[in-house]
Amino acid sequence: MEKLTELTTDQKWKKARIGVIIFCVIHFFFEILTGNTTSAALPVVVNYFISAWWIKDKYLTKEKPIKSYILTGLTVAGVVFLIRVLLGVIFFSLV
């Protein structure tokens, strides 16, 4: 197995992307189960791109040490999802 310090930025992103994709699959099933069958893929795709931007910009370009790239991908995608849910709750409670 390669040492994590020897990985290039693309290799690190490929490892983190696995975690983001795992969360996106879970997120897709959540959208279907909550009744959002007409546009279930849109929030998942938006979550993927925001998570990808966040990981690439905040973690990989600044060379922050990461022990588990898959766990980092899962965590960032989960936080993006929770922010979206929180904003939705705030928005719909005001309307």
Q: What is the pLDDT of residues 29-83, one digit of tens each?
A: 988 998 888 888 899 999 999 999 999 988 888 877 788 999 999 999 999 999 9
Write out the two tokens for 89: 């709750």
Question: How many whole angstroms separate alpha carbon 67 and alpha carbon 73?
Answer: 12
Longest dimension (CA), the chain: 53
Q: How far is CA 92 from CA 40, 86, 87, 89, 95, in A?
A: 19, 10, 9, 5, 5
Question: How many whole angstroms separate alpha carbon 27 and alpha carbon 81?
Answer: 8
Residue 36 in 3-state DSSP? coil
Q: Which of 9-13, 24-28, 59-63 has the lowest mean pLDDT?
A: 59-63
- pLDDT band of 1, cuts 50, 70, 90: low
